[in-house]
Amino acid sequence: MTLGLWLTTASAQPLRDGDIIFQSSPSSQSRAVELATRSPYSHMGMVFLLYGRTYVYEAAERVKFTPLDQWIARGVQGRYVVMRLRDADRLLSASSQRRLLAVARQYEGRPYDLYFEWSDRRIYCSELVWKIYRRALGLAVGQTQRLREFDLTPPAVRHKLRERYGDRVPLDEVVISPAAVYASPLLVKILEK
């Protein structure tokens, strides 16, 4: 079997459309996200099986499908976690999976949102996954927050905020973080490497 279809661990399960994969990225922005959200994960995407290969649909420089092995290789030490809807057998029927993909494709090619604005003009990783689930299936995978609810005191976080916003930090901006999606009671962990 290929990496894309089966991941070898003691409790390996085949990946499915709609699975959500998390990692830590080696960037200053990722470090700031991890500190502000008190999470080991700063980047995420949605799994899709297309044309016999497994891809992660992600918001990077642009929203795109990235082969799973390339996505994993970009993360810190190749570590990642895969979450799945707790009731996936019921909620992710073939028609539901098609809706996920159809909604996902509406975002393809959109630029990455460095400012974490709650809009569809530009989009960031956790916003992409959250909006796909919300618009395709009516599910909120994670609780949205206001930027002010994060821990904005660490120096790396303050530096990144100053770099992006200057003195006009939008503290009331609605945001969704990888940590909030990961903590969703709708999800269950199926794999950790």
- What does the pLDDT read at residue 30? 86
- What does the pLDDT read at residue 13? 67
**CA 128, 23, 38, 104: dihedral to nearest 10 degrees?**
10
Q: pLDDT above 70 covers what percent of the chain?
A: 93
Q: How far apart are CA 193 and CA 80, in angstroms?
A: 5
Superfamily of domain 20-192 in CATH is endopeptidase domain like (from Nostoc punctiforme) (3.90.1720.10)
If you compute the radius of gyration of the chain from its CA atoms, what whole number of angstroms results? 16
| Per-residue tokens: 75 | 């993360």
CB 182 within 8 A of CB 39: yes
Q: Report pTM.
A: 0.91
For the chain, the domains span: 20-192
Q: What pLDDT digit, counting tens, does each position of 91-127 carry?
A: 999 999 999 999 999 999 999 999 999 999 999 999 9
Q: How far is CA 138 from CA 34, 96, 128, 133, 134, in A?
A: 28, 11, 14, 6, 4
Q: How far apart are CA 160 and CA 36, in angstroms?
A: 11
| Per-residue tokens: 103 | 């909604």
Where is pLDDT greater, at 160 or 28?
160
For the chain, give the mean pLDDT: 92
In this predicted structure, the answer to whether residue 143 has a pLDDT above a threshold of 60 is yes
